[in-house]
Structure 1
């Protein structure tokens, strides 16, 4: 679903991507580290804290990962797959984009 939303979205820079995440209410996305085959992002903010602390159902960030994978491909020209790692103590999600 996230990749489909990204295909309908016209973004071309990292700054536009960060703003889009904020606008959609998906949280504050920041680039943490860039390696040869990986780009590591952090997703944080009030909404992320609320999602991670709720106990009603298992929360995941597949929509955000799919969107980020597709937009990273658009911005860099390389194919990426994204994986999420939740840090419940810090109330943040680390998303790693791995070059395919």
Structure 2
């Protein structure tokens, strides 16, 4: 995150910035952990679209998944990693600095 007088772009994270990835991070930040299908429904996107965005976030080390069987079906749960939390918070701070108070 940028300090006083720092460059507002310091915390800007292009990986987080894409709208569906930003919304995914916001949802996971609030929920702690959420089932893939819940995130998909909240974002109103197809499973394949969400899967692509989650893959990008996972490759960056921002999201991790946990697979578990529930009601005889395998479910995928998503959560932000500590690095993902830090990147998301830094990106929000950068956006706030860019648009001003």
TM-score by length of 2: 0.29
Q: Which has the larger radius of gyration?
A: 2
More strand by share: 1
Greater relative CO, 1 or 2 (CA 8 Å, sep 6+): 2
Q: Which has the higher helix share?
A: 2
